Structures are given as C-alpha cells and as structure tokens.
Amino acid sequence: MVGVDCFDDYYNRTSKEGNLAEARRDPNFRLVEQDLLGFDPSTVLEPGCRVFHLAAQPGVRGSWGANFERYLRNNVLATQRLLEATVRVRPQRFVYASSSSIYGEQPTGPTSETATPNPVSPYGVTKLAGEHLARLYAQAYGLSVVSLRFFTVYGPGQRPDMAFHRFIEAIRAGKPITLYGDGRQTRDFTFVDDIVDGILSAGQTEAVEGAFNLGGGTPAPLTEVLRILGDLAGHPIESRPGEAPPGDPRTTWADTRRARELLGFRPRVALADGLRRQWDWQTRSVGPTS
C-alpha cells in the first residue's frame, strides 16, 4: 500500500502526522512525500492496483478570490495528471473523492445522483470538474471509475478548520461559538468510519461505476449539534450568530439508495455517538486547554 501526500500548508503538519501515525506503523504501508504535479504518479502505481484519489484543496469559504488558483491547481490539474498516469498503468479501479458541494442549492428533500449539479462555490466547481475529467477518461480509455460524493464528514482526525473541530475547541476553552448564519441550516453529517467503509466498498465492488452519494442519512440543524455538544460538556453552549458566507447551501441531504443497493453502504454511526467519539479524540489529542 502506497500513500502520496505533499503536506500542503493549508493546515499544520503536526495534525497530519498524528493522523498518519497508525499507518506508518504498518510494515505494508509506504508514504511518498510528493506533489502530484511535481513527479510522475505512475512510478508508484502497479498494473491492476486500486487508486483512491482523495488529494484535494478543501474548504468552501477559502476558494473565493485569489485563492482559486490554488484550488484549480490542486483539484483539477492534479486530478488530470493522476488520470494520465492511471491510463498508462491500467488500474483495476479509480475511486475519486467528490463532494456534496457539487449539488449546491437543491429542492427540499434528499438529493439523488440524478439531480442537476448546481455548485454555489468555486470549490464545488473544481470538484465537479474532477468528476467530469474522471468520466471522460473512463469513456476514452476504458478506466473503471467511481466518484463518491461525501456529505459533511466529521469524526476523529477532522481538519482543524472544520466546524465541529472549532466548536469543540471553543467549548473546551470556555469561549462562545460563532456560527456562520443563524444555526438553523441543515447538514447531512457523515461519520468518518462510514465514509471509509464506502470508499473501500467502491474500490472492491466489481462492475459498479458512476457517481454515488455517501451521507449519514439523517440531516440535522446546527442547533441540534450544539445541544449534543452541550450534553457532552455538561452545560449549555453559548453561541452567537455570524454572517453567512457565500457558497454555503442552506440544506444538504443525501439520497443514498444507489450506494445502498450497489455498494452495500450502510451508515452505522448516529450523530450523537459520532460527536462523542470526536469529543473524546480531541480531548486526548489536544490535551487540556488553558
């Protein structure tokens, strides 16, 4: 098993090394520290392998303005470079990590893979472009491609810029939480272990291609998240509304019937249990706050 990471400085390397610690202890794992645009990815691929492409520049709010060039490079150009390498190697499967951000604003109710994409952020545009590239290479070169649309992933190992991580750190430091908007926006939160199960299934299930939603299946407003975090903290959570940034849809809700039927995807971790696991992880990994 080979992992490739350029350790982009979007957030600190210490957090990334912590998430890599268990993999590094596996004698069958090898890490290659390279930028996908700075070397030939085919040198670390083998014929018949499975490629899981999760490398990307994350974050909706940061994708506006001059930063878009970074998203174009890391999400579109890097994906095209990796697809070129896979054509030469002929892997068994290419799994592309996409995002619910490709949907943007959709009608009320669960969103299926047949919905017309309507991204409302530059980040969403780049993730949709990656899907289109993967599909084009599948059609032109016969690659077996699966695109997985992740819905708001959380849990142990979460990036420090993401909402739940920031909420928990603020609570532990005795500070109020600043919300983007009024807190009534709804997200289909998905625990990281369920996402990993979906990724592995997509890599192993034969004769299955195309796009799949991976979501928790039970959307909840941020106010419910704060209630659960208050139970974990043992006191009500102080919050204050902030300005809603551009690019954040009001609601996300995954229709996962296709993933259930063809990938056997079954999200198992409920929001309250998942938040408790993330709370416990942050308490252990970060330690006491001042």
DSSP 41-82: GGGG--TT-EEEE------SGGGSGGGHHHHIIIIIIHHHHH
Contacts of residue 272, Cβ cutoff 8 Å, sequence gap at least 6: 228, 231
Cβ neighbours, 10 Å, residue 47: 9
CA–CA dist 183, 225 (Å, integer): 9
Pairing of strands 186-187, 220-221: antiparallel
Active site residues: 123
Q: Which of 127, 75, 64 is nearest to 101 (CA)?
A: 127
Dihedral sign from CA coordinates of 114, 118, 121, 125: positive
